[in-house]
Chain A
Amino acid sequence: NAGVMQNPRHLVRRRGQEARLRCSPMKGHSHVYWYRQLPEEGLKFMVYLQKENIIDESGMPKERFSAEFPKEGPSILRIQQVVRGDSAAYFCASSVGQTSYEQYFGPGTRLTVT
């Protein structure tokens, strides 16, 4: 299966800990997008990355959140000093390129902060 992969699928962290979410794009895709979804709410864009470049981080909180997509390996969304409000489903999507319109989503990581 060459779909978008995310791990872990479920992550529990205590307040103040760090959360690391990983995303491997579909085979042949080099563009990655991270979204957050709160219960009963829509998908909110966080950050858009290409290999070694952040293209658009307009949706990402300035504090505690960071993202990277290194030359080798998966994209990582990092949340430092998590708070209860960070509890949500985090989805990664990938596309072939910048002008390719269609994004395909991974299964998501459900983050619970206790």
Chain B
Amino acid sequence: QKEVEQNSGPLSVPEGAIASLNCTYSDRVSQSFFWYRQYSGKSPELIMSIYSNGDKEDGRFTAQLNKASQYVSLLIRDSQPSDSATYLCAARRGASGGSYIPTFGRGTSLIVHP
């Protein structure tokens, strides 16, 4: 069974700090990984995708992938109160894996306090 695990939090960080969000996945065949941000009462918004081992940076966001450890993380630098949201991690098999449906974690609640 494919599972994506995230600590539900809340993770509380002061404004300006680095927020580190972690995710592990059980399906070794997973090839693609995504981070979504979901504000309360709103829909998920794609913020990062990563497909290769290593780091991928986009503005204040850095996604890190370690396929050997089956671990994905999201770092948010210079955290702002507007970053307060639930962050969903998702993993998906590639074409060779026979499924195009991502599996989502339950999300980590992030609170950035002034």
- Name which of B9-17, B38-46, B74-82 contacts chain A: B38-46
**CA–CA, A58 to B103, complex, Å?**
13
- Asked whether, in the complex, the Cβ of B106 is within 8 Å of the Cβ of A42, the reply is yes
A45's closest neighbor in chain B, by CB?
A: B101
Q: Roughly how many angstroms separate A65 CA and B17 CA in the complex, as a whole number?
A: 46
B39 → A minimal CB distance (Å): 11
Measured CA separation A104–B32 after assembly (Å) = 15
Q: How many residues on the A side are at the interface (Cβ–Cβ under 8 A)?
A: 22
The reply to whether the CB of A72 lies closer than 8 angstroms to some CB of chain B is no
CA distance A108 to B43 in the complex (A): 6
Given contacts A42-B88, A43-B88, A101-B49, A107 and B43 within 8 Å (CB-CB): yes
| A99 interface contact, C-beta 8 A | yes
Q: In the complex the two chains form, is A103's CB within 8 Å of B43's CB?
A: no
For residues 40 through 95 of chain A, which have their beta carbon under 8 Å from a beta carbon of chain B?
41-43, 45, 48, 55-56, 58-59, 91
Contacts of A98 in B (CB 8 A): 95, 100
Please report whether the interface of chain A is mostly helix, strand, loop or mixed according to DSSP.
loop
The reply to whether B101 and A91 contact each other, CB–CB distance below 8 Å, is no
A101 touches B104 (CB 8 A): no
The reply to whether the CB of A102 lies closer than 8 angstroms to some CB of chain B is: yes
Are A43 and B44 in contact (CB-based, < 8 A)? yes
Are A103 and B106 in contact, CB atoms less than 8 angstroms apart? no
CA distance A107 to B42 in the complex (A): 7
Query: Which of chain B's residues have a CB closer than 8 A to the CB of A103?
Result: 34, 46, 102
A105 B101 Cβ-Cβ under 8 A: no
CA distance A104 to B49 in the complex (A): 12
Q: Give the shortest distance, in Å, between A112 (CB) and chain B (any CB).
A: 14
Complex Cα gap A42–B49 (Å): 19
The answer on a CB contact under 8 Å between A99 and B100 is: yes
Q: CB distance A101 to B44 under 8 Å?
A: no
> Which residues of B are at the interface with A, using a C-beta cutoff of 8 A?
32, 34, 36, 42-46, 49, 51, 88, 92, 95, 99-107
Seen from chain A, the residues whose Cβ lies within 8 Å of a Cβ on chain B are 33, 35, 41-43, 45, 48, 55-56, 58-59, 91, 98-99, 101-108
